[in-house]
Structures are given as structure tokens and as C-alpha cells.
Structure 1
Amino acid sequence: MTTRAILPVKLSLTAGDFYTLWAPTWREKGSEWQAFLGDDQSVLVFRSPEELLAYLETTNAHDLADHPKWQQFQAQGDDRVVPTEKQYYDIVGAPEFLAGRPSHDNVSNLSRVFQISRSLADVASAEQVQIFFASHSILGNVSRGADHYAGDNGMSEWSGVGRVVLSNWESVVHSLDESVRVVETNELDAERVSAASAAITAATEARAAEDERARADEAARAAAEDPYDSSAWGRAGIDPVKVSIQGQSVYTLRTYLRGAPVFLGKYGEIFTFPSTKHLGRWILENDDHDLAGVSTWQDLINTANAGELKVEVHPDNSYSFNGIAADIAKGTDAVDTKQMAKAYELLADAADWAGDDSLNSLLLANPRMQDYLAYMLGSTRAAGYVPSAPFTDKAEAWTEMENQLIKRFSKF
């Protein structure tokens, strides 16, 4: 059932299709109420949405005027009177839904027709319709959905509903026909109807454009989203890492806790593996490492045990040291500073996690190397310093930094 308080609806009755407003059940002052757009005598229906809108704009003397959400409904756009596909109720065509199997569409459409027919009967005091629904309990199960008819006796019960409807529906529809009053076109101001038609068209086009913009925005957001973020690794906040250095590649894991790096390892040793498959197998059989204490680690293990964990390295977590030392020796223009910055990030992370001062000690012993890195990486610490050839000492210092990292690897 819809959660909107007041709905535009399209009803197919014997004389054709008509439009009105329906307020499904609501509670007020401890009592349940339901209503349609109507006057003291009957429910009012119109031949088009524009005639319905023209009527609403010329009178407030109707049964919905006292509805607690009426002003909220009136404040919506001019297309508020246009029903959606779900707000179309083919009352006269209900037997056709029963001619087929109890599919989701057939059962849900029939349930909706029953719902609004009972509501019309209750509001308009259509006694014959009320008696029909009260006398046939089998009709109540339709609201349970198609799954209700999926069992062994499902088709038999569905056929039972069909027999009840086929025997009585003509009189039900006739009673509902008599419960509504068609507001004829000649009862309405022609100019207001014409203006309402233009207003509905404009509002419908504006809403369609807004919906198209919303879809485009959603598509753009979806395109901008990184699938990795919704992976098991992204959800856990623990990342596979690839390190390519001195002609070889190794794999490990890393996360950050309160901004501090934590690697897959223990006592300053980073556990490394020659392939993602080796890494994936190892974590299933071992839990003596620093990452085992991370709150989301068990989530990864559960996923791995279910056979659903694939070790994939995001490009942001792939670090290549290859060629950096040789490029340093050639000159500043030869160095890929983005590659160097990423590599230095990993050097610093590993040293921080290990609690090892060897990297800081090396840089303190080589202040020009500190200045060089600051210059290459755009740090303000390099103010006034410009590297100059020869760069052999810088290349050697960088190689020593790489060797310090490799010494922390369990396998290389």
C-alpha cells in the first residue's frame, strides 16, 4: 500500500475511464478514516486530469477539504492530479487478471482492484459490494501476493477466486457505477479546463526534466564510484599492497589505525608473498600478526572461508621503485616525481610501523638528501635549495633506502 496520504487515481468503470482523488486509510483522533473526492451525495469522478484540476481550483467544498494532509497535497505541482501506472485500477477488467496464472502482476493488480473497490463501497455505502467481499473469505488471501498461490493448492484456490468473481463481478461493477457521479464537462469552466491542461503539461515536462537530471546525476555518481570501495577489502579498510622493487614484486597487506600504518607482519617484519594467491592462502591459515587484532580482520577471514575473497591490488596501493635510482643519477628532469612520492610514502609507512629509526638516521646523516627529497616532492623545507649534478650520491642514498625496506620483507 502506498504511503502517500492523498492519491490521484484512474478508475475503469462500465462507462469508461475516470479520474478522482483517493485518501487511503488514515488515523485521526483514535479512529480510522478513508475518503474519496466527493460531495454529500457521492464520489465525484472526472473524464480527465485537467477537468479534475479545474474543479479543485474552483471549489473547496468537498469531502477531502478536512483531510489533515489536504493543504500539503494542494501545495504540490499542477501534475499532482495525474495518476502513475500504479494508480490505475481496472475495476471492470478484473476478471481478465484471473484468466491467467497467479503471476505477480495478475495477483498484485487484482489485489489493488479489490482494495479500491472495497474502499469505494465503504465510502459510498455500496451495500451490494460490501456484502460481496464480506461473504467470500477466499478473496482476502489475494492481498497476500503471488507466493500464497505457489503451493500445492495454489491453482485450485486461484480458480476458486475466479469462480467467485465471474459469478458476481458484473453486479459489483454495476453497484460501483452507481456509487460515483461523473462531473460532466459542461459543468466546468472551459477556460479553467484549458488553463489546467496547459499547466499539467508544463508541470509534467518540468518533472520529467528533473527526473532526467536526477538520473544523470545518479549515473555520474555511480561512474565516479570506485568498485573497490564496495569490495570486501574496501569495506574492511585493509588493503592488498604490491611492491615492485629491484626487479621483483611482492605482496602484503596494510591498513591505518588512527592515522598510523599497520602492515601484515610482526615485530617490524613485513610478511611478503610472491603472488596474490600465496597471500590469500596464507591469511586463511595464520593469525599471528599485527592485523589479526584489527576489528574488521575477521570479516575478511569469513569472506575468505566462504570462498569469496579475491586478493586484488588497487592502483593506489601499487608501489614501483623500479628505475627511480637510475633516473635520480640522470638528473632531476628524468625523475617521475609521482612515482617517487608514492615510493617514499611506503618507505615512511614501513619505518613508522616498524618503529625503526634507520630511515631518519640515514637522512640525518645525509642532509643534502633530505633537501633533495624536499625539492623533488615539493616540500617547503627545500626553500632556496636547487639540486645540482653530480647526483650519484643521491642515487646511492635512495638505493640504501630501498635496501632498508627490503630487509623488512620476510621473503624477497
Structure 2
Amino acid sequence: MARPSIVPISLTVDDRTGYTLWAPPWEEDGEEWQAFLGTTEGDVATVHLFPTPAKLAAFCRTSTDHDLADHPVWPVVAGLGAPDLTPDDDHRYDLDGVYDIAAEDPDRWAVEELAATVDIVTRLAECLDTTDEDDDDEQFEAVAELAGKPEIGSLGLGVEAFAGRSGEDAWIGVGSVLDELWEDVVEELSEHFDWTGAGTATIEEYPPASEAGEDTGDVDEDDATPEPLDVAVTEPGGATAAAVATGAGVRAIARGSRVTASPAAVAAAAEFWEAVGILPVEIVVPEGAGVTLRCYVEDVARFLGRDGEVFLFDTPADLARFCAGNEQHDLTEIASWPEVADTDTLPLPAEQDRYDLTELSEVLTEVADGAAGLVPHRALVQPVEGVRDLAEYADLTRVEELLAPGMPLGRAVARADREPGTPLDAAEAAQLRPLWDDAVVAVSGALVFRD
């Protein structure tokens, strides 16, 4: 089980978006705990929702009368500012949007988003349910019924569960269950949502769903937040709260990157790139950051490049101009390439297709220097995925050796798959850092930054 952490999230219900905090399951004194920022009075539990991350931060600085006050990392959270308490795209849950998602084709984004929304709904119900185990009356009957449906359970299997004719039928089944139960689910939960920010806000302050992503976390001078503490609060995905800050509706796709795009633009672009089977990818190495394209041919990674060299471009616009040209490369023979060459859709990398290879090196250094326990092994998963693909395409035997099962880095990656929540310790991080740097150097040699 992962170490204690607290994650900023947002919930959109009835075209209104509120911000709060979620403490994913952790173990303490032999018991498993999970909680949201809220209070319990008698038989009624509520989740406090705030109109902006700034309002949320102000509450966290001044209040200890809530269910997270005794959380092990609450003292850290109480010192964070609005940018640090702004949820990333993976922790924004649109309860209004499930019907639209279910009406889409079951690509990986639709399946993952729907699965995540159902998951947070069940977690809310678990934390808000104050009935005794022996009580026959359930507070959240619709949520329990939804979670028990096998069609909903299939979401946890990923997009593969919805492939082919049987998969189409399974996806239709998911939509039917949602049509039957979702309104009741939302109604049950809504009775426990506090839209006053624990008495700090009025209902008029909450942004409609269309404007929620534009919140900058700005505050009046009297409400200005202090500088964030120099301590990391680890997310389930391994990122720190400070690493997920967003601003003004524009998401920097990676530190050092020249790529910025609104979440809506990324999602819209993803429809085209998913359809052609060639995805935009961002790679960040010590020498710089760039975007390229990648697909898989018989499960083997193939990049926009030639002779084992991967072409990187400063911006999606630069990459698009290259794609519209006539230069030959290893993606030219892909059947859908003519569509890529002719499209006006910018190649905007999605979150899961970002590979910041420098950040892991920094994280390993921090853990080795004393931040042990704050970073789980799952932090290795995404950057290693990028390195593996690049090494496979460029035939980098040195990287394959470093990631071999019997090598320290290979063993750590295997543990990340087997026990993703297990924290990295200082000794392991100190051992892995030079090995990871060695792999990044090898990969960097295969990257060609194009004008």
C-alpha cells in the first residue's frame, strides 16, 4: 500500500465545479484509511467543495476542524499555496460528462476517464457512508448497485475489454447501466456535497464547468498564500503536488517544454491521432525537449525518424510542417500516413505520452539525499516506458542491458509493476541514479533535433 498522501481534485456536478482534497488509502496502526476533506456530524458526512484552489488553500491554512486534520501529511498541505492545490487533468472528475463519454467510441481515453470517474464515485460513497455494518439500510444503494454491475467492472480491464464485436456489446452494456443508475448515483452523493466551502463561499462563486479549467488560483492581496513549503506531497502517480500546477487554462506539457495546450485542445486532437494509430509524443532530455510521432508495428515501437535516429521538433507546429513535406522516413510506409500529412490537427501529446527523462533523475537524487518514503516505485513506470520504446527503435543494446531483469534498474522496474506503491529508499535511489543517467545518455544519442 502506498504511503500516506493527499491529492487535490475537482468535482463537476450540475454544471458547477468545486475543488477539494482526497487522501487515497493508506495504512496506519494496522488499519486501512481513506478520506476526503470534509466533516462528520452525527450520522451525516459531507465533503467540502471550494470555488477555487485559492479558497481551498486559504481554508487549509486556517482550519483544523475536518476529517483530514490528523492525516500524517496534513502539516505539509497546510503550508501549500493555490498552485500546489490545483488538480492535474487526471484528478478532475466530471460527473456531468459520463453520458457523453459513454456515447463516444471506447478508445483508451474514454475507457480510462469513465473508469476513473466511477472509481472516485465509489470512493466518495465509501467515505461518506456512516451506517453501521449491521444496518440493513444503505445510504448509497445506487452506488453499490452500480459498482456491482459486471459491465462497470469491465472498465477496470482497460480498452482491450471493448475490442471487437463482443467489446462493442460490452461498451453498449456500460452505457445502459449508466442510463439506468447514474442519475440516482449523483443524487445520492449530492446530498453530501457542501457547496459553501465550509461556510467560506457562496454558491454564485462556483465556476460553471466550461470555465473551471481557466482558474488561475489568483487571490486578493489579503488572502495571499505563503510560499509553498519545500516538502513534497506524493500523488498516487508519483508526482508531487507542486508538479501538477496549472494556470490560466494552459497546461505546460512538461518542464522545459515549448508545448502548451488547453486540456480541451489536447482531447480534441487526440480523437484524430488515436484514429490514425500514430500518436504525438514529447521527450525531455538534458539537451532539450521536443515532440515527435510514434506508432507500433506488430507491438514494436516505430518513431518519426530514419536509420535508428528519432526526429524531434521544438513545437507541434514545426512537427506538423515537417509531416506535410516530402522527406522520407520510417513512418512514410504506414497506411495512415497520408492522413497525417494532410491533416490540420496539431500533434499535441497527451499526458500519458509525455516522457520527461530528466525529472526521474532529479527525483532519484532527492530521494538519495533524504526524501526517502515520499516517492513510490511507480514513478519509474512512465519514463522507463519511453526509454524502452526509444531503445527498441534505435537498437540500443546498452539500454536493454541496463533494464535486464537481473540488473538493479531492471529489478526496480519489475518491482514498480508488481508493487507500484512501495516507496523508494535512499540506498536504492543512490544506486539507480547513475544507471538511469547512463540509459538517458544512450537514448539522447539517438535523438536528432530538427529545425
TM-score (norm 1): 0.47
**Greater helix percent: which structure?**
1
Between structure 1 and structure 2, the one with the greater Rg is: 1
